[in-house]
Amino acid sequence: MAEINEDTLTGQLLVAMPGMGDPRFTKTVIYMCAHSPEGAMGLVINRELESLSFPDLLEQLNIEPAGMHERISIHFGGPVESERGFVLHTPDYVREATLVVDESVALTATIDILKAIAGGEGPNRSLLALGYAGWSAGQLDAEIRANGWLQVPADTDLVFGANLEKKWEAAMGKLGIDPSMLSGTAGHA
């Protein structure tokens, strides 16, 4: 049996601090799909892509939307492999290629899940993202130590909620933090 790393961020949220130096991640909330000594991978869950709609994507992939009843937005998942699609979803849909992250969230990156969603047979809740946020070994830990990110427990309402503009504030609120009281720079004694 593999040893469990108590410090893993897998299944947690990363919330960008106000002083985040990378504009691609300003006020972002990232669901962490994997975190190990070899590196980390997550999806931004609060930034919608305006340039592509789900029906447009289905048309590009020659998938007929048969049973879709809701509007599905496509998210900016991160700057790495921005042409590759990832679906973060509830684990009521699990196939061979699905990574079950924890008891509430799974990740699938195959065209089959898009066909299932288009046919009305996909997971109960889902979030479609293009690209992902990735860190090499030790990189994310260094960014956290440099006051770049806060760790927040994930919950399905926050992960899959439709109000993208409020996710950053809601994630901060889970820690009891008023974002207006945060400084963008680390303090020194």
Mean pLDDT of 150-172: 92
Please count the CA atoms within 13 angstroms of the CA of 117 that sit on its side-chain side: 27
Tokens 């924890």 locate to 102
pTM of the entire structure?
Answer: 0.87
* Domain interval for residue 75: 12-181
In a domain, 148, yes or no: yes
Number of domains in the chain: 1
Asked if the model's pLDDT at residue 56 lies above 90, the reply is no
pLDDT at 68: 60
Mean pLDDT of 10-36: 92
Tokens 């046919």 locate to 119
In a domain, 124, yes or no: yes
In a domain, 3, yes or no: no
Range of weakest confidence among 98-102, 115-119, 147-151: 115-119
| Three-class DSSP labels, 54-94 | HHHHHHHCCCCCCCCCCCCCEEECCCEEEEEEEEEECCCCC
In a domain, 187, yes or no: no
In a domain, 4, yes or no: no
pLDDT at 183: 55
In a domain, 19, yes or no: yes
Compute the C-alpha angle 44/183/43, nearest 5°. Answer: 5
In a domain, 1, yes or no: no
In a domain, 186, yes or no: no
Which CATH number does the domain housing residue 154 bear?
3.40.1740.10
